[in-house]
Amino acid sequence: MRLTDIIKNHNNLLHFTAIIYNLIHWNNYWLFHSKCKFSLTGAFLNKNKFRVNGKHNHLVVGSKARLNKCHITIIGDNNRLFIGGGHTIVNNTHFWLQGNNCEIIIGEDFTMESGHIASTEGKSIIIGKDCMFSNDIEIRNGDSHAILNTMQERINTASSVVIGNHVWLGAHVRIMKGGKIPDNCVIGNSSLVSNEHDKSHAIYAGIPARLIKENIIWDRAI
């Protein structure tokens, strides 16, 4: 049995190894313990940069998950970032939470090559289990700045995003506020999802994304 397999199969050894790994591979989350609760037991962090301005925030990274060269920015109070464990590997991704009571929740066995995930105005971004996101992905549930009508009324409020289990996003995909993707779907390269889709086991593509094919399955191992 390989050493890595031995470590993975023994929780105490895994947790100790993760602590040593995180100390060696420079991360600066320790600077923000007064502003955010960090739950990182068994997670492996490599050169991630954190910035937190607020209070009562919570960041959770599940056991065995690996975050490499990511940026985590939290501005406000009572925000929550949860990244599931297992076979999760996230590279070169910026997680941004701005406002109060915002959340980004990601299931286990998640992979992402690069991109930007931003939650604002107290809304959520929920991503299911076993999702595979390619590079240059952008997901946001708000516009970050206000647009007003001539009566000075806000017309572009944020709206939560929901992505189901086992969803594959091709390169350069954009998921905008109010976007909904069912389980077991594929979103084609450079597509824009800006509304709710209801058919699972389907391929969506285009700007805006539309239904291309139904009754499909996909497998990351093939």
Could you give the 3-state DSSP secondary structure of residue 202?
Answer: strand
* pLDDT for residue 16: 78
Domains of the chain by residue range: 3-144+158-214
Helix count and strand count (H, E) for the chain? 2, 23
Q: Please state the rounded mean pLDDT for residues 73-84.
A: 98
Query: Which range is least confidently modeled, 70-79, 105-114, 149-158?
Result: 149-158
Q: How confident is the model at residue 6 (pLDDT cuts 50, 70, 90)?
A: low
Q: Rounded to whole angstroms, how far apart are CA atoms 193 and 13?
A: 43
Q: Please state the rounded mean pLDDT for residues 18-43.
A: 92
Q: Rounded to whole angstroms, how far apart are CA atoms 156 and 147?
A: 6
Q: How confident is the model at residue 112 (pLDDT cuts 50, 70, 90)?
A: very high
Token output for 49: 């940069």
Say if residue 23 is exposed, middle or buried (CB neighbours under 10 Å; 0-12, 13-18, 19+). Answer: exposed
Q: Please, which residues bridge with residue 106 across strands?
A: 83, 127
Q: For 131-170, how does the pLDDT look when each residue is reduced to its tens digit (9 = 90+)?
A: 999 999 999 999 988 899 999 999 899 999 999 999 999 9
* Homologous superfamily in CATH for domain 3-144+158-214: Hexapeptide repeat proteins (2.160.10.10)
Mean of the per-residue pLDDT values for the chain? 94
* pLDDT for residue 2: 67
CA-nearest of 30, 37, 33 to 57 is: 37
DSSP calls for 71-91: EEEEESSS-EEEE--SS-EEE
Helix (H) or strand (E) holding 66: strand 66-68
HSE-up of 193 (CA within 13 Å, CB side)? Answer: 32
> How many angstroms from the chain centroid is the CA of residue 70?
11
* pLDDT for residue 12: 75
Q: Rounded to whole angstroms, how far apart are CA atoms 15 and 64?
A: 9
CB 161 within 8 A of CB 179: yes
Token output for 197: 């889709």
Q: How confident is the model at residue 15 (pLDDT cuts 50, 70, 90)?
A: confident
Q: Rounded to whole angstroms, how far apart are CA atoms 107 and 67?
A: 14
pTM: 0.93
Q: How confident is the model at residue 81 (pLDDT cuts 50, 70, 90)?
A: very high
